[in-house]
Structure 1
Amino acid sequence: MENCKQPLLSLSTRDQDQDQGQNLTNTSSSAIFIAEVDDIPPITGAVDFFREFSKESKKLWYLAGPAIFTSVCQYSLGAVTQVFAGHVSTIALAAVSVENSVIAGFSFGAMMGMGSALETLCGQAYGAGQLDMLGVYMQRSWVILNATALILMLIYIFAQQLLSLIGQTPSISKAAGTLSIWMIPQLFAYAVNFPIAKFLQAQSKMMVMAIIAASALVLHTLLSWLLMLELGWGLVGAAVVLNASWWFIDLAQMFYIFSGTCGRAWNGFSWKAFHNLWAFVRLSLASAVMLCLEVWYFMALILFAGYLKNAELSVDALSICMNILGWTVMVAIGMNAAISVRVSNELGAAHPRTAKFSLVVAVISSFLIGLVLALILIITKNQYPSLFSNDANVRELVIDLTPLLALCIVINNIQPVLSGVAIGAGWQAAVAYVNIGCYYLFGIPLGLILGYKVDLGVKGIWCGMISGTVLQTLILFGMIYSTNWNKEASIAEKRIRLWGGHTENDADNKK
């Protein structure tokens, strides 16, 4: 890797578009140089590589470990509620399942996607030492996400009609629609939670998030048993506990931040939260589109399986596979958060070589984890389906789908890492277009042709959609391989000044 010493002045077209109409202060100190020596020394052989690989792995897992644990705990809140709902009644189980996967699932994906814009901004500002902007960015995201929640609230209010429209039975639509109205507080909890999570992640404060999430899961389990079963509150109890659990997480995290533990990163509420909102909205929307296109892609897989000749068998088997995939994806989401923080921090600190090497370490680590999980499934393919179903036909189809599931796990342990790099570098809009092309113009049509025209059934649909994921992964690899990381560090420095770093500070000093 060559050392370079050049001004960080070159800009990409996406930043040039944002710069129209913007006046930046031109001073002799505005040209920032990449250091002659980056955070990592030149790597000339295998010994150097493994030494630096070990160092970077420790930094990644310091972030990824608690992030994975937090993701699993939060993912488990809905799963625990479904378990207790199954002991209330079949209609309660169906209502909770539909509300969680369709109504709350849609909102969760959209809000988490919009909140992920902070992974770019907070991470790069933290790396550049602009700590006082982290709290401002979080407040801007609160404004945007709560405004979005007001719009999404209409989906909750009219959930019964929407579910009937897409073919749910009247009884399930009515029960899930009633539950959705009770779940509106959870929607606003999402709007508060995701900006806080990205604010804390950017500062590598993952452990406190893990402790709070674990505490919430324990309380959630106890209260679900008490309200839903012992006191007989049923669906109302499910709503009360889920709302309370998410707001417990939010309030505990806010108490941690407001108590002064984040130093200069939180200086109280500021009117700066309302500055540059449109540019913030654009990045938030790009982030939401990028993530939602991925989430909805796999939701479509089950939807299409429901139209096959043996629909019930296909959906049951596929649901088991998606359940397993969902748990394994928690590992990938943790690594996604870790690499996003590492890349954004290092680009913000003008360390492009370190950002690039961190990516290499994350991809190798995630690939190995995915490979191990896939091998475990292949080895136990004749045993694990019996844990989920007593139906011999369902178990047989799950066994038949296991090789595809194993392949999907390997790919989905690499792909989120690449997406995390895209978020850390601020490429959300570009990746959204890639997702549209690979998933919806290539993967889904190919899956439908293989599933229906070639008559391969659920295997054909899944093969086609995996092909779309593989194509997207290859394109992301190409984008990253061709990236000029020095230019990305320049873009990060420019974004920090443009969106509130030096420019706002200088303006304040002049007053």
Structure 2
Amino acid sequence: MQNLDDVSGQDDGGDMPPISGLRDFFRRFAAESRKLWWLAVPAISTSICQYSLGAVTQVLAGHVSTLALAAVSVENSVIAGFSLGVLLGMGSALETLCGQAYGAGQVEMMGIYLQRSWIILFTSALLLSLYYVFATPLLRLIGQTPAISSAAGKLSLWMIPQLFAYALNFPTAKFLQAQSKVMVMAVISAVALPLHGVLSWWMMLKLRWGMAGGAAVLNVSWWLVQVAQIVYIATGACGRAWSGFSRKAFKNLRGFARLSIASAVMICLEVWYFMALILFAGYLKNAQVSVAALSICMNILGWMVMVAFGINAAVSVRVSNELGAGHPKRAKFSLIVATITSTAIGTAISMTLIALRDWYPELFSNDEEVRTVVKQLTPLLALCIIINNIQPVLSGVAVGAGWQGVIAYVNIGCYYIFGVPLGLVLGYKLKFGVKGIWCGMLTGTVVQICVLSGIIYKTSWNKEASLAEARIRKWGGEKDREENEAEMQEKVP
């Protein structure tokens, strides 16, 4: 694997000395940018390709029928979105532990951590499958129309295999990201996406299998991605980080589960927040059109935010690695570079989207009423892209530093105590409809960004480096690592 220091062209032997002027700032900005982009480009590619698996299915569903589009949207956001939030959040615990352990040079137990996370997430997926089985009555209970509830519930049953692919994929991705092995993930996802697109078109539209065909292809695509990643790890490409399956993976599961749950709460509160936007739109008049139009906007937002998520993954790796290595100043500077970069990208994407607002809705729906609503929502979508290109970067720093518990409280206050009530008042009480709901909830995101920025500004990065060292000792399996070393010594003649 190419070393990040080779990419930057500078020595990372110690922490970063003080910046001596504007010219020095730009030199270091360029060096850190090279490090970030070396990680971010394949991470962005992976995020876009994997997100596009579901997005392609959703786009094609819009050409099957408006009901099919609404059903796929509700299943993706409410059913799969709920489960994705839980499993992705639980998997992010591995991002903190593996990232800081790798930065500290303690890689021997990373494979054990991966297996522990697989066990915990697979068990969680078994419980979450009940949510899929009873999706139809649950959607009716929360007020969705009978037609959408029935169609989305049927689709949910077909998508249960995807749930278990999630359970294996998210820990695997964090395990590989912590070692900067992101290129292989990008290649696997890039191969899977065009195959998925062709097969989905053939089965959904050409053979007229509709949602059933889309579900079958989507399940197969996710499992192909995961199997390919596991094969790559099993071939020995990760060196000391993977030494095969071990019974030690079943040790300390209780403590590992507690950390996973704390991580899940933070991520779930973010994922469910935007899931609720689709849900609230289902209560408006002409629900099918509202849900379909908003789902198109969320689909586009999801694609655009994948860029920010790629930078999120990169900055999380950089921050966790640098804190694990005892370089707090480098961790802080990486945050500054990532925030500036992500904001600039979000602004450029938003301007492009506004310029194409009269053209792009035709790609998603044949319904003229739906396309008209999408055009009306485009300025709000553009603003949302800029804001949501900043927020994932700050969340990435939080995960890299291990602040999941604190950020969970921040998310509760900003999103659910402030954002959701404001959105409901604007959307229903003041009768601004879907625009009002979206504006209120977007304001909650802005407040969260302000709070996170304040927390980061006041952070003592030297203290965070010390906490990272303590976290490695506590959660990094110091006892297990010593046992591993003892076993290796016993094998030496």
In the TM superposition, what is the alpha-carbon distance from 1:476 to its structure 2 partner?
A: 0.5
Q: Give 1:220's aligned residue.
A: 196
Tell me which moved more, 240-249 or 220-229.
220-229
Q: Give 1:352's aligned residue.
A: 328
State the secondary structure of the residue aligned to 1:350.
Answer: coil
Q: Is 1:151 aligned to residue 151 of structure 2?
A: no
Q: Determine if contact 1:38/1:354 at 8 Å carries over to the other structure.
A: no
Q: Is 1:484 aligned to residue 471 of structure 2?
A: no
Which structure 2 residues correspond to residues 425-444 of structure 1 after superposition, within 5 A? 425-444=401-420
C-alpha distance in 2, partners of 1:459/1:97? 18
C-alpha distance in 2, partners of 1:85/1:383? 19
State the secondary structure of the residue aligned to 2:106.
Answer: coil
Q: Determine if contact 2:305/2:389 at 8 Å carries over to the other structure.
A: yes
Q: 1:357 to 1:409 in 2, by over 3 A?
A: same
C-alpha distance in 2, partners of 1:54/1:285? 37
Which structure 2 residues correspond to residues 220-259 of structure 1 after superposition, within 5 A? 220-228=196-204, 234-259=210-235
C-alpha distance in 2, partners of 1:357/1:59? 12
Q: 1:371 to 1:265 in 2, by over 3 A?
A: same
Q: Give 1:50's aligned residue.
A: 26
C-alpha distance in 1, partners of 2:437/2:186? 37
Tell me which moved more, 98-107 or 245-254.
98-107
Q: Is 1:132 aligned to residue 104 of structure 2?
A: no
Q: Determine if contact 2:111/2:242 at 8 Å carries over to the other structure.
A: yes
List per-residue Cα deviations over 1:369-389 (Å, max 9, x = no partner): 111122223444455456556
Q: Give 1:179's aligned residue.
A: 155
Q: Determine if contact 1:40/1:52 at 8 Å carries over to the other structure.
A: no
C-alpha distance in 1, partners of 2:432/2:77? 27
With normalisation by structure 2, the TM-score equals 0.89
In the TM superposition, what is the alpha-carbon distance from 1:239 to its structure 2 partner?
A: 3.1
List per-residue Cα deviations over 1:59-104 (Å, max 9, x = no partner): 1011111111111111111222334445666665554443333222
Q: Is 1:407 aligned to residue 383 of structure 2?
A: yes
One of 428, 431, 444 as aligned partner of 1:452: 428
State the secondary structure of the residue aligned to 1:205.
Answer: coil
Q: Is 1:120 aligned to residue 96 of structure 2?
A: yes
**Aligned residue type for 1:40:** M
One of 237, 246, 249 as aligned partner of 1:273: 249
Tell me which moved more, 90-99 or 43-52.
90-99
List per-residue Cα deviations over 1:128-178 (Å, max 9, x = no partner): 001112111111100110110110011122223223333445454444333
Tell me which moved more, 381-390 or 159-168.
381-390
In the TM superposition, what is the alpha-carbon distance from 1:394 to its structure 2 partner?
A: 5.4
Q: Give 1:4's aligned residue.
A: none
Q: Give 1:373's aligned residue.
A: 349
Which structure 2 residues correspond to residues 278-427 of structure 1 after superposition, within 5 A? 278-308=254-284, 314-381=290-357, 384-385=360-361, 388=364, 397-427=373-403
One of 140, 149, 155 as aligned partner of 1:164: 140
Tell me which moved more, 235-244 or 431-440.
235-244
Tell me which moved more, 84-93 or 370-379.
84-93
**Aligned residue type for 2:39:** L
State the secondary structure of the residue aligned to 2:476.
Answer: coil
C-alpha distance in 2, partners of 1:459/1:90? 20
With normalisation by structure 1, the TM-score equals 0.86
C-alpha distance in 1, partners of 2:363/2:211? 27
Q: Give 2:6's aligned residue.
A: none
**Aligned residue type for 1:112:** L
C-alpha distance in 2, partners of 1:263/1:392? 55
Q: Determine if contact 2:66/2:367 at 8 Å carries over to the other structure.
A: no
List per-residue Cα deviations over 1:14-70 (Å, max 9, x = no partner): xxxxxxxxxxxxxxxxxxxxxx97343321101110001001101101111111111
C-alpha distance in 2, partners of 1:397/1:180? 27
Q: How many residues align?
A: 477
State the secondary structure of the residue aligned to 2:109.
Answer: helix
In the TM superposition, what is the alpha-carbon distance from 1:506 to its structure 2 partner?
A: 2.8
C-alpha distance in 2, partners of 1:230/1:92? 16
Q: Give 1:110's aligned residue.
A: 86
**Aligned residue type for 1:333:** F
List per-residue Cα deviations over 1:351-370 (Å, max 9, x = no partner): 11110000000000011111
List per-residue Cα deviations over 1:375-429 (Å, max 9, x = no partner): 2234444554565567776556545443332222111111100000000011111
Q: Give 2:49's aligned residue.
A: 73
C-alpha distance in 2, partners of 1:391/1:160? 26
Q: Determine if contact 1:224/1:238 at 8 Å carries over to the other structure.
A: yes
Tell me which moved more, 254-263 or 448-457.
448-457
Q: Determine if contact 2:87/2:264 at 8 Å carries over to the other structure.
A: yes
Q: Determine if contact 1:352/1:488 at 8 Å carries over to the other structure.
A: yes
Q: 1:155 to 1:306 in 2, by over 3 A?
A: closer
Q: Give 2:238's aligned residue.
A: 262
In the TM superposition, what is the alpha-carbon distance from 1:293 to its structure 2 partner?
A: 1.2
C-alpha distance in 2, partners of 1:402/1:477? 27
Structure 2: tracts of 5 or more residues without a match:
1-11, 488-493
Q: Give 2:184's aligned residue.
A: 208
State the secondary structure of the residue aligned to 2:183.
Answer: helix
C-alpha distance in 2, partners of 1:358/1:259? 32
Q: Give 2:8's aligned residue.
A: none
Q: Determine if contact 1:283/1:428 at 8 Å carries over to the other structure.
A: no
Q: Give 1:99's aligned residue.
A: 75
Structure of larger gyration radius: 1
State the secondary structure of the residue aligned to 1:154.
Answer: helix
C-alpha distance in 1, partners of 2:266/2:425? 25
Q: 1:406 to 1:130 in 2, by over 3 A?
A: same
Q: Determine if contact 1:276/1:499 at 8 Å carries over to the other structure.
A: no
List per-residue Cα deviations over 1:472-501 (Å, max 9, x = no partner): 101101111111111111111111122235
